[in-house]
Amino acid sequence: MERTLIIVKPEGVQRGLIGQVIARFEQKGLKVVGLKLMQIPREMAERHYAEHAGKAFYEGLVGHITSSPVVVGVLEGPEAVSVARTMMGVTNPKAAAPGTIRGDYGIDIGLNIVHGSDGAESAQREIGIFFAPAELVSYERAGDRWVAGE
């Protein structure tokens, strides 16, 4: 099973979309193994966006993600990274397909509702920024075999 990090960004929290976003992932069959509401401190945001340091949009990213509470979560399932990214849609909501989270709820690239890890390695790194190992829970759901064909 693969794990990925998702963040319901400030605009998702402020617009009351936490439940809808998390529900979509659960309804798809991904399992929530970590979840918390938090205000991201600047230092943590800088570690999260370290790959963008020095780029023109970096300060805007850090400023935005620290501007309001967010919900961070860890999802688990077969190919969780690619499944979550497909469900989110492309980064620019104007180009995101209807039926995706960004396509249904976003309008502006800077307010695109949700973040998701872009690969297995970045997922591990990002999960380590936001969650201690003890904050992640492993458990079996009765319906898991009906999702992954186990």
Catalytic residues, which ones?
A: 115
The contacts of residue 149 (CB under 8 Å, 6+ apart) are: none
- Distance (Å, whole) CA 76 – CA 148: 11
- Distance (Å, whole) CA 45 – CA 48: 5
Q: Are 83 and 52 in contact (CB under 8 A)?
A: no
Handedness of CA 145, 148, 149, 150 (dihedral sign): negative
> CA nearest 114: which of 52, 51, 72?
72
- Give how far the C-alpha of residue 42 lies from the chain's centroid of Cα atoms, to the nearest Å: 18
Axis crossing angle, helix 18-28 with helix 80-88, rounded to the nearest 10? 130
